[in-house]
């Protein structure tokens, strides 16, 4: 019945034979909330199963209850709410949305499967690091670009050369759409830091600590002399091992931020070799 669930309750665990009866009576979905409470769903076209169930299983109480109303449209709308990040950015999670903050730099996202909506601390902290830089870096590499949010933000802050890469082909498609939605352009490379050529003044890598640790030498190799590496996505407890690995590569920690759950670390490469 639309908007209603048939709720079954029993002192003892409800026997499997009840599930067989429900199936015979045309149940379309069965939610075993606990061993002694089930919620069963029927289409409007199915005959009311209550009388038959009470006859077959008198030990089990059953009756119709209203389903709690869920405002799906409202939930969807609120998931599309613009988000202000730091002092300068406004994330618009759909290209057509108007920004409530016209004075902020709008980052338009295309709904898709790629990570990077700005809501996660690891992304937001990278955006904050970027906006706080005294001047826009001349070149940026975004390793594990996901939606392309960091690459788009770098372009919008005036960085003239931006490259983004990801091992996930779907993320690259979304990152391409993000560039178009924002009217910016950046290079897209399939793969990781090892597949990208050249050196960069700023490299972002918002990826899990274990991946970050594994590709740290490739990330360091992409840094121009004196370049910055922002490593994010480092779960609390893993930062010490990443710090040790980075130190052994000659990277100098210049800043660390955390929300208690995630760490974002900023290193500087030495200005010259040796």
Ligand X SMILES: C[S@@+](CC[C@H](N)C(=O)[O-])C[C@H]1O[C@@H](n2cnc3c(N)ncnc32)[C@H](O)[C@@H]1O
The contact set with ligand X (CB under 6 A) reads: 114-116, 123, 126, 142-146, 149-150, 165-168, 171, 192, 206-207, 211, 215, 233
Q: Is the dihedral of CA 97, 100, 103, 107 positive or negative?
A: negative
Nearer to ligand X, 195 or 247 (CB): 195
Q: Which is nearer to ligand X, 139 or 192 (CB)?
A: 192
Q: Cβ of residue 126: shortest distance to ligand X, in angstroms?
A: 6
Task: Report yes or no: 146 and 176 within 8 Å, Cβ to Cβ.
Answer: no
Q: Tell me the closest approach of the beta carbon of residue 233 to ligand X, in angstroms.
A: 5
- Please report how close the Cβ of residue 88 comes to ligand X at its closest, in angstroms: 17
Backbone angles phi, psi at 245, to 5 degrees: -60, -45
Q: What are the backbone dihedrals phi and psi of residue 97, each rounded to the nearest 5 degrees, phi first?
A: -70, 140
Residues shown for the chain: 274
Provide the minimum distance between the beta carbon of 77 and ligand X in the complex, in angstroms, as a whole number. Answer: 23
Min dist. Cβ of residue 142 to ligand X (A): 6
Toward ligand X, which CB reaches closer, 49 or 137?
Answer: 137
Q: Which is nearer to ligand X, 6 or 181 (CB)?
A: 181
- The minimum distance between CB 164 and ligand X, in angstroms, equals 8
Report the alpha-carbon distance of residue 91 to residue 106 in Å, rounded.
Answer: 6
What CA–CA distance (Å, rounded) separates 38 from 34?
7
Contact 246, 222 (CB under 8 A): no
Closest CA to 131 of 184, 77, 177, 86: 86
With respect to ligand X, which residue has the nearer C-beta, 21 or 123?
123
- Kindly calculate the radius of gyration of the chain based on its CA atoms and give it in whole angstroms: 26
Which DSSP string corresponds to 23-86?
HHTT-SEEEEEETTEEEEE--TTSPP-HHHHHHH-TTSEEEEEEPPP--HHHHHHHHT--EEET
Q: Residue 67: CB partners within 8 Å, gap ≥ 6?
A: 3, 4, 5
Nearer to ligand X, 60 or 149 (CB): 149
> At closest approach, how far in Å is the CB of 192 from ligand X?
3
Which residue lies nearer to ligand X by CB, 10 or 256? 256
């Amino acid at each position: 019945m639309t908007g209603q669930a048939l709720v079954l309750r029993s002192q003892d665990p409800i026997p499997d034979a009840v599930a067989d009866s429900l199936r015979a009576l045309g149940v379309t979905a069965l939610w075993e909330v606990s061993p002694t409470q089930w919620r069963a769903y029927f289409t409007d076209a199915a005959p009311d199963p209550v009388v038959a169930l009470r006859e077959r299983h008198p030990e089990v109480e059953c009756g119709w209850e209203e389903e709690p109303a869920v405002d799906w449209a409202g939930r969807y709308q609120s998931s599309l709410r613009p988000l202000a990040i730091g002092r300068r950015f406004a994330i618009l999670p759909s290209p057509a949305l108007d920004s409530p903050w016209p004075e902020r730099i709008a980052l338009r996202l295309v709904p898709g499967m790629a990570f990077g909506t700005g809501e996660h601390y690891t992304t937001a902290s990278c955006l904050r690091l970027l906006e706080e830089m005294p001047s826009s870096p001349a070149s940026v590499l975004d390793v594990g670009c996901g939606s392309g949010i960091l690459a788009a933000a770098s372009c919008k802050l005036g960085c003239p050369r931006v490259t983004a890469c990801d091992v996930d082909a779907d993320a690259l498609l979304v990152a391409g759409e993000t560039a178009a939605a924002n009217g910016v352009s950046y290079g897209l490379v399939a793969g990781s830091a090892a597949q990208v050529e050249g050196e960069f003044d700023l490299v972002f890598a918002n990826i899990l600590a274990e991946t970050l640790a594994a590709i740290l030498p490739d990330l360091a190799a992409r840094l121009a002399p004196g370049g910055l590496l922002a490593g994010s996505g480092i779960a609390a407890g893993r930062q010490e091992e990443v710090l040790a690995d980075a130190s052994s590569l000659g990277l100098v920690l210049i800043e660390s931020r955390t929300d208690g759950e995630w760490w974002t670390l900023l290193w500087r490469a030495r200005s010259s070799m040796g």
